[in-house]
Every structure is written in C-alpha cells, then in structure tokens.
Amino acid sequence: MEQIGAKPNLSANEGQEETIMPKTSTDVVDSSATPGASATPGGASGATPAITPAATPGATPGATPGASATPATKRSRSIAVLIGSFRKQAFTRSVAIAAMDALPEGYAPFIPHLDKLPLFNQDFDEEDTTPEEWKLFREQIAAAEAVLVVTPEYNRSFPAVLKNAIDIASRPPGHNLWTGKPAAVISVSPGRIGGALANQHIRQPLTFLGLRIMPAPELYVSDVPTLLDGEGLLTDEDSLRHIRKFIDAFAAWIERN
C-alpha cells in the first residue's frame, strides 16, 4: 500500500498501496457523453481533460463553472470514470480529474452522470418502464473498455450512488455489463486512512460481477484538502507523481486484460 499526501501516514507496502492528496479541480470533466467520447491528452498539471459534448439523450457538457471546453482528441480505449460524490467541491472529483489527466495517449475517459440515475427498482425492467437514464448508462458501460472507480468513504464503506450504478448495469439477469472489464479503484478522504475501507468494500461487488480489478498498486488519497490549490486543483507534485504511477500501472493492466 502506498499513501500520498501532505501528511503521509498510512502504513505502506512499497509498490502496493498509495495514498494521494490532490487539489480540487474546478475544471471538472463531466459527461453523460457516449462511451468512447474522447478527451484531450492529459499530462499538464492542472490541465483538465475535456470530454466531447454528449451525443446521447440527456447528455450535458457537465463541466463546472470556469471549465474551458477543449477540443477532444481521438482516443482508442474508452474508460468509464465512476465518481462517488456529486458535491460541487468534491475532493473525489479533483482526484478523478488528476487521474484522468494522467492517462497516456490512447485512452478516452468519460464520466457518466451517476447523479441522474433513478434508484434501482427491478420493476422498471420487468414492466418495460426502464428509465432513459438507465438505458444511457448501460450503453455507456457496455461500450466502455475499462472502469476507473474514484470513491470517497461513507461510514466505512462506499457511497450508495456507486452501489446504485453498479446494480443498474448488472441487470436485468443475463445482462451484466461489467463482466471482464479491467478496473481500478482509488479512494479519497480528508482523513488519515484515505478511504481504505471504501476502497476494499467496493472491490467485493465489483469482483462478484466479474470486473478484473487491478490488485496492486492500490491508491488511497488521504488528507486530501492539504493537496489542493486555491482553485481545488491537485497540483502537489508528489501526489501527481503517485497518481501517474498508479495510472501507468492501470494502463498496463488494461492492456494485459
């Protein structure tokens, strides 16, 4: 385990776990863009990946105020980035942006609008009243080649919004859309253990559903507020280095799986 942040404090098994502290991004890439939507190449500190305008019903650009639209660059592998907080100044989102930024050329991250998903109800599918938001999300997950989960910790687990999304794309029976997709998990917290329990908890349903979760390195971002600049961007160089290392490993994991 590695832990990144201004106040490293977690026990660390070198090369396995990382804890990071990013800076909140006001340039938030959002999207209900279709899977495969391309983003600008990441890399520059503070740069925000831009997602192409959503082409599917209900899609919105999704950038937070101040975000600039950047022409998208064609990328080959779409990665669904599931963010477990909708809060406007969410630390989790800041970390997600930094992680997306760290992706090498050839990857197209997009952020599904989990906040738009009605709570799971099996009746919707059985009575042919499946919400349009579910249909869109299922299309996005079906087309995604990999999944990156970035989660805060709620009451020593992961937030319900992520569980809802996981459940929706796992059904109806016989239509589990998660199976076989390479995945990685990042947890984020203002606290000292970097959301470690959320990180571990969410692996249980994801594993059950057949995602190929990268076992190591792990990434726990602790003391996250200390890693952000005044605009909420993750600019802490040490943290960015850890994020890049994690994302490089994830890219290699995707290629192997």
Ligand X SMILES: Cc1cc2nc3c(=O)[nH]c(=O)nc-3n(C[C@H](O)[C@H](O)[C@H](O)COP(=O)(O)O)c2cc1C
Given the rule CB under 6 A, which residues bind ligand X?
85, 87, 90-92, 152-156, 188-191, 195
Q: Least Å distance between CB 92 and ligand X?
A: 3
Task: Answer whether 187's CB lies under 8 Å from 194's CB.
Answer: yes
Q: Least Å distance between CB 8 and ligand X?
A: 16
**DSSP H or E run through 253:** helix 237-256
Q: Where are the beta strands (DSSP E) in 26-181?
A: 77-83, 107-110, 146-152
Q: Which is nearer to ligand X, 18 or 145 (CB)?
A: 18
Q: Which is nearer to ligand X, 36 or 194 (CB)?
A: 194
Q: Least Å distance between CB 10 and ligand X?
A: 12
Q: Which is nearer to ligand X, 177 or 186 (CB)?
A: 186
Q: Which is nearer to ligand X, 129 or 155 (CB)?
A: 155
Q: Least Å distance between CB 79 and ligand X?
A: 19
Length of the chain, in residues: 257
Beta bridge partners of 157: 154
Q: Which is nearer to ligand X, 61 or 191 (CB)?
A: 191
* Helix extents (H) in 154-195: 160-168
- Residue 150 CA, distance from chain mean position: 4
Q: Least Å distance between CB 222 and ligand X?
A: 8
The sign of the dihedral angle between the CA atoms of 110, 104, 96, 160 is: positive
Distance, in Å, from the CA atom of 103 to the CA atom of 105, rounded to the nearest integer, reads: 7
Beta bridge partners of 187: 151, 220
Q: Least Å distance between CB 155 and ligand X?
A: 5
Q: Which is nearer to ligand X, 190 or 210 (CB)?
A: 190
Q: Least Å distance between CB 197 and ligand X?
A: 7
Q: Which is nearer to ligand X, 49 or 195 (CB)?
A: 195
Question: Which tokens belong to 112?
Answer: 């599904």
On the 0-12 / 13-18 / 19+ scale of CB atoms within 10 A, 216 is middle
C-alpha separations of 233 from 67, 135, 225, 236 in Å: 12, 33, 10, 9
A 10 A CB-CB count for 208 gives 12
